[in-house]
Each structure stands twice: as structure tokens, then as C-alpha cells.
């Protein structure tokens, strides 16, 4: 029989109130609180804490404070990763960022989903789908990336976009819902 964590990691319906998962989220929230409380000048300490929190990091990255996530271990960032303030990553499923990714302020990456069926939703079950962001991607301020989305290499997501579907490589995409307006 699968654990709730195994179900979660396999994008199946799972119980988010599971004791193990709740403990893992509390651990993550504690680490985020600690990270967000560190002085910005303490670069080495900040980087060490993020390496402890995140599933995988490159050597050169900067995540501005405040930063929030659910588990941390489902987040992988590549080299030369930068996110500005108020980034939230609900990493119930894997969230992978390639190299040279730039994220503007107030962006959210949300893998969690609640069932459409109200009876299942009332039961407290939920699921998640992974998000993948390619290399050399720039995501504009206050953009939201929804479950299951892949953003291709060299893409640009305009400020305020709500990305509900995959964005191909070399595309400039904007809007709510986000759509491709140009390819380079």
C-alpha cells in the first residue's frame, strides 16, 4: 500500500493532512522563516540554508527574501538562477528550473490542484502536477505558473501573465490566460 507521500509524488490523489506530510511542511516553513529572517548581507549563510532546503541547486544562484515554499525538496534550480522578492513555490510536485532563469517580483509557481468533483474535494484529497521551466527563461513580475506547465528554453513570460498551458521554446507570451504573441 502506498504512503500519502508516495501518492503525492506520483501525482495521485493524496491526503494533505497526513502526519508525515504535515511534519515535512512545518520543517520547510521553519527553514523558510529562518531564511527570510537572515540579514541580506549574510550571503553564505543564506546560500547554505537554501542548499539545505532545496532538492537541487547550482553553484551560482540568488533567491531574494522573502521566499516561500511547501516542501523544498521538490524544487531544483540550475546555474545562474535568480528570483526577486516574494516568490512562492507550492512544490507538492517537482518544480524544475533550468540555467540562467530570471524571475521578477511576486511570482507564483503552483503545482497543487484540488478535485473538480465537490464530494472528493470535501474529503480533503488533492493532487499535483509538475512544472518545468527551461534554460534562459525570463518570467515577468506577478506572473502565475499553474500545475503541469512546461515553459521552453529562451521563452519570455510577460508581467501579470497566468500561464495555464505549455509555452514553447523561443516564445514571448503574455496575458491571462497567457498566450504566445511572438517567436524569436
> Can you tell me the distance from the alpha carbon of 180 to that of 166, in angstroms, rounded to the nearest whole number?
10
**For residue 45, how far is the Cα from the chain centroid?**
22
Given the residues 114, 121, 165, 182, the one annotated as active site: 114
Q: Is 153 a catalytic residue?
A: no
Give the three-class secondary structure for 3. Answer: coil
Instruction: Let me know how many helices (H) and strands (E) the chain has, helices first.
Output: 4, 19
Task: Give the list of residues 6+ apart from residue 128 with CB closer than 8 angstroms, or none.
Answer: 8, 11, 92, 93, 111, 112, 113, 147
Q: Write out the catalytic residue numbers.
A: 114
Amino acid at each position: 500500500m502506498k504512503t500519502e507521500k508516495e501518492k503525492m509524488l506520483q501525482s495521485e490523489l493524496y491526503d494533505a493532512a497526513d502526519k508525515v506530510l504535515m511534519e515535512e511542511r512545518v520543517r520547510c516553513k521553519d527553514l523558510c522563516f529562518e531564511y527570510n529572517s537572515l540579514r541580506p548581507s549574510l550571503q553564505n549563510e543564506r546560500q547554505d540554508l537554501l542548499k539545505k532546503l532545496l532538492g537541487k541547486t547550482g553553484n551560482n544562484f540568488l533567491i531574494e527574501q522573502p521566499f516561500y515554499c511547501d516542501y523544498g525538496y521538490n524544487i531544483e534550480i540550475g546555474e545562474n538562477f535568480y528570483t526577486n522578492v516574494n516568490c512562492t513555490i507550492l512544490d507538492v510536485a517537482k518544480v524544475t528550473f533550468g540555467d540562467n532563469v530570471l524571475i521578477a517580483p511576486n511570482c507564483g509557481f503552483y503545482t497543487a490542484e484540488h478535485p473538480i468533483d465537490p464530494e472528493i474535494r470535501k474529503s480533503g484529497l488533492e493532487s499535483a502536477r509538475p512544472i518545468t521551466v527551461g534554460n534562459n527563461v525570463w518570467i515577468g513580475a506577478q506572473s502565475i505558473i499553474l500545475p503541469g506547465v512546461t515553459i521552453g528554453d529562451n521563452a519570455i513570460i510577460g508581467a501579470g501573465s497566468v500561464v495555464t498551458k505549455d509555452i514553447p521554446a523561443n516564445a514571448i507570451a503574455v496575458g491571462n490566460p497567457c498566450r504566445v504573441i511572438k517567436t524569436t
